[in-house]
Amino acid sequence: MKKVTGLGGVFFKCENPQGMNEWYAKNLGLATSEYGATFEWRQADDPSKKGTTAWCTFPQDTQYFNPSAKPFMINYRVENIVALVEELKKENVTIVDEIAEYDYGKFVHVLDPEGNIIELWEPKEELDQDNVAGKP
């Protein structure tokens, strides 16, 4: 079974998320919004499929990274999150929450041995808008 298939995103805490977004936009050219930036790419093994990687700033007092005390969180893209969580449970990996499902995929959070929070994401199938059925 494939486990991690790629990097889904990098998230970090900062004193001024809006200011950081503006700095990265001005100085490094990131196309930021209030949610950070999204990088689009195509899968190497199937270029007809698109993917995304997120870059997001969070306020220092966010509770989203809990129970980790670290100022960052990495999101990994995975396949078959349900089966992967079952494997992780057998290996006594700390599962922080239950699998949650949204319009854009399924998520669950786990801790690595040093207490870093890891977000696992099984994206919904991302359609290539240039190759949607019925489009010339």
Residue 43 pLDDT: 85
User: What average pLDDT is seen over the chain?
Assistant: 90
Domain boundaries, the chain: 4-123
CATH of 4-123, one of 3.10.180.10, 3.40.50.620, 3.30.110.40, 3.40.630.70: 3.10.180.10
With 0.75 as the threshold, say if the pTM is over it. yes
Q: Residue 102 and residue 122: Cα distance in Å, rounded?
A: 10
Name the residue with higher pLDDT: 51 or 76. Answer: 76
Q: Burial, 21: exposed, middle or buried (Cβ in 10 Å; 0-12, 13-18, 19+)?
A: buried
